[in-house]
């Protein structure tokens, strides 16, 4: 079994350039709008996966809101669903 652990991504962190504060707290966003696809897309991977809070720096409270908004956005066709890896 080959365990793919993303440990070797230490050298190049392309995501958010080390911004480790909650964007939503900073902007004093209380409600995350699922219609704001651009904002939600920042918090998802290319595959459509939601980035974990420890990557983006989003606090637990906003991460929860974010996940909810993203799931809603997916349902509305604003964001895409997670694409299964092929090949």
Q: By C-beta, is 33 or 83 nearer to Zn ion? A: 33
Which of 55, 59, 67, 78 touches Zn ion (CB under 5 A)? Answer: 59
Could you write out the DSSP letters of every residue in 43-62? TB-TTSPBPPHHHH---HHH
User: Which of the ranges 3-11, 21-29, 44-52, 74-82 carries the binding residues for Zn ion, by CB under 5 A?
Assistant: 21-29
CB 67 within 8 A of CB 30: no
Among 24, 40, 51, 69, binds Zn ion (CB under 5 A): 24
Q: Tell me which H or E stretch contains 39.
A: helix 37-41
Residues in touch with Zn ion (CB under 5 A):
22, 24-25, 59, 62
């Amino acid at each position: 079994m080959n365990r793919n652990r993303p440990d070797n991504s230490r050298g190049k962190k392309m995501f958010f350039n080390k911004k480790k504060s909650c964007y939503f707290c900073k902007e004093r966003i209380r409600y995350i709008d699922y219609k704001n696809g651009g904002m939600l897309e920042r918090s998802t991977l290319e595959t459509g996966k939601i980035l974990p809070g420890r990557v983006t720096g989003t606090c637990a409270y906003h991460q929860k809101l974010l996940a909810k908004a993203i799931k809603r956005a997916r349902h509305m066709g604003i964001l895409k669903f997670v694409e299964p890896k092929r090949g």
